[in-house]
Chain A
């Protein structure tokens, strides 16, 4: 085995120039697809992910309908061209697991009981992957749900932390995810101080894990503010435009 390049240098700077507690640049846009009831797009580092919501709408097939609440269905899927080596379009076991985990992360946030016998169908498509896609997907999905006018208890913000070259860091990119020592994705609802998604793989002592969670939650809180800004952005722009016209 050859020498693997170091992921963090002596000054604690990572290969993409970030410090250990710095998030990658994030761009969020809401309402990007005209057919879906709600949609959002996120870029985080080189991640490019689209989230779209159809619903609430009638459940097909009908026998799946729940009598006392809406049925939330989620499909996390990666485009064949999204990764270095072409990925088959058929759902992999990883995509099946992540679809479940993402659905379970968003369920507590939605007032499902208000719309019995309907379904809310959430689609997350990873157009380009660069580590942390499930977290970025959840961040975008929350916005898509809000964009669709689906009532929610809170937005769900997601961020991963992990261990790379012995350091605990936030928001791992692809190289750090693949060659690092641990990855801890977290989804969080700040109003309830509640963790909605939590996974981990790698090797961490309990103390390191505690620190990693704290880093991830800090990341989630920052992303939460960005989510709120993105939701309001479209309307604030219109409001300012209208105010300008008034002044003329």
Chain B
């Protein structure tokens, strides 16, 4: 927890349009993206956003489809706030922040239909591919959501699905070789913090302690909103929300270029 003095410092600086780490109000911290680092996973990525570090592993297995979507693969997103990532994280069942983060990332991917789940069906109604996205937070220095969303997308983009053959007797047999996971959209999350009445993008840890409210907006490749989540115990005006959507769409496009390049 940062001192009251520092909290005041941060808030006052932002009120005059500056941030303690020298960034502009709409600047992201430096981003480093690596992919394919865990060979045993079907897909993986590590993202460093400033000092925040998140790793995502994609595992692909089999399972039954959802009853209302018998011809589609299944997507499930989980997040773990690993205790080594922060003195605030404890071992045990997921905290509400961890559950919320997983669900925000899930919505971004699911609502933008980023994965072509219809192509992941083996036996309709019986056997489909299950895509497990596991978000592993390794160091918490603020804005875990955006880092996790980028890492999840990159991990999906380098995921490989094993090839399978459906035999006459209904058996599914593995064939040699892989296919890339069919991806058709690239959702990006942009998180704002409302501090001193101003919206700042990519809040770092100290700014998160001072913020009044947090707003995450996810955009797909066409600049459409696919997920929104307000967090924090403060309030936002409708005008701030609209402003965030306009800035967010631009920032998402910038980030998407970085991701697609990597």
Question: With A93-B102, A99-B96, A100-B96 given, is the CB distance from A195 to B238 under 8 Å?
Answer: yes
Q: Which listed residue (A96, A194, A204, A206) contacts B235, Cβ 8 A? A: A194
Tell me whether A233 is interfacial, beta carbon within 8 Å: no
A-contacting 9-mer, from B126-134, B151-159, B199-207, B218-226: B218-226
Question: With A93-B99, A104-B231 given, is the CB distance from A198 to B237 under 8 Å?
Answer: no
In the assembled complex, which residues on chain B have CB atoms less than 8 Å from the CB atom of A8? none
Interface readout for B134-152 with A: 1 if CB under 8 Å, 0 if not? 0000000000000000000
Question: With A104-B233, A193-B238, A213-B238 given, is the CB distance from A97 to B99 under 8 Å?
Answer: yes
Interface residues of B in 219-262 (CB under 8 A from A): 220, 223-238, 241-242, 245-246, 249
Question: With A97-B96, A213-B238 given, is the CB distance from A104 to B107 under 8 Å?
Answer: no
Tell me whether A203 is interfacial, beta carbon within 8 Å: yes
Tell me whether A13 is interfacial, beta carbon within 8 Å: no
In whole Å, how far is B80's beta carbon from the nearest beta carbon of chain A? Answer: 13
Q: Which listed residue (A196, A198, A201) contacts B111, Cβ 8 A? A: A201
Nearest opposing residue in chain B for A189, CB measure: B235
Question: With A94-B103, A104-B231 given, is the CB distance from A195 to B224 under 8 Å?
Answer: no
Query: In the complex, which range does the number of interface residues on chain B fall in?
Result: 35 or more
The answer for the CA separation of A94 and B245 in the assembled complex, in Å, is 25
B100–A97 contact, CB under 8 A? yes
Nearest opposing residue in chain B for A214, CB measure: B238
In the assembled complex, which residues on chain B have CB atoms less than 8 Å from the CB atom of A213? 238, 241-242
In the assembled complex, which residues on chain B have CB atoms less than 8 Å from the CB atom of A101? 100, 229-231
A203–B225 contact, CB under 8 A? yes
Question: With A97-B99, A194-B235, A217-B238 given, is the CB distance from A203 to B111 under 8 Å?
Answer: yes
In the assembled complex, which residues on chain B have CB atoms less than 8 Å from the CB atom of A108? 233-235
In the assembled complex, which residues on chain A have CB atoms less than 8 Å from the CB atom of B224? 203-206
The answer for the CA separation of A96 and B99 in the assembled complex, in Å, is 7
The answer for the CA separation of A93 and B241 in the assembled complex, in Å, is 26
In the assembled complex, which residues on chain A have CB atoms less than 8 Å from the CB atom of B234? 108
In whole Å, how far is B201's beta carbon from the nearest beta carbon of chain A? Answer: 17
In the assembled complex, which residues on chain B have CB atoms less than 8 Å from the CB atom of A189? 235
The answer for the CA separation of A185 and B220 in the assembled complex, in Å, is 20
Could you tell me the dominant secondary structure of chain B's interface residues? mixed
Q: How many residues of A contact B (CB 8 A)?
A: 34
Tell me whether A192 is interfacial, beta carbon within 8 Å: yes
In the assembled complex, which residues on chain A have CB atoms less than 8 Å from the CB atom of B233? 103-104, 107-108
In the assembled complex, which residues on chain A have CB atoms less than 8 Å from the CB atom of B228? 184, 198-201, 209
B225–A206 contact, CB under 8 A? yes
Tell me whether A202 is interfacial, beta carbon within 8 Å: yes
In whole Å, how far is A246's beta carbon from the nearest beta carbon of chain B? Answer: 44
Tell me whether A143 is interfacial, beta carbon within 8 Å: no
Interface residues of A in 12-27 (CB under 8 A from B): none
Question: With A206-B223, A209-B245 given, is the CB distance from A201 to B107 under 8 Å?
Answer: yes
In the assembled complex, which residues on chain B have CB atoms less than 8 Å from the CB atom of A103? 233
In the assembled complex, which residues on chain A have CB atoms less than 8 Å from the CB atom of B241? 195, 198, 213
A198–B230 contact, CB under 8 A? yes
Tell me whether B60 is interfacial, beta carbon within 8 Å: no
A-B contacts besides A198-B229, A209-B245, 10 pairs, CB < 8 Å: A93-B102, A97-B103, A100-B96, A194-B235, A195-B237, A198-B236, A200-B225, A202-B111, A202-B226, A205-B225
3 tightest A-B CB contacts, nearest first? A194-B235, A200-B228, A107-B233
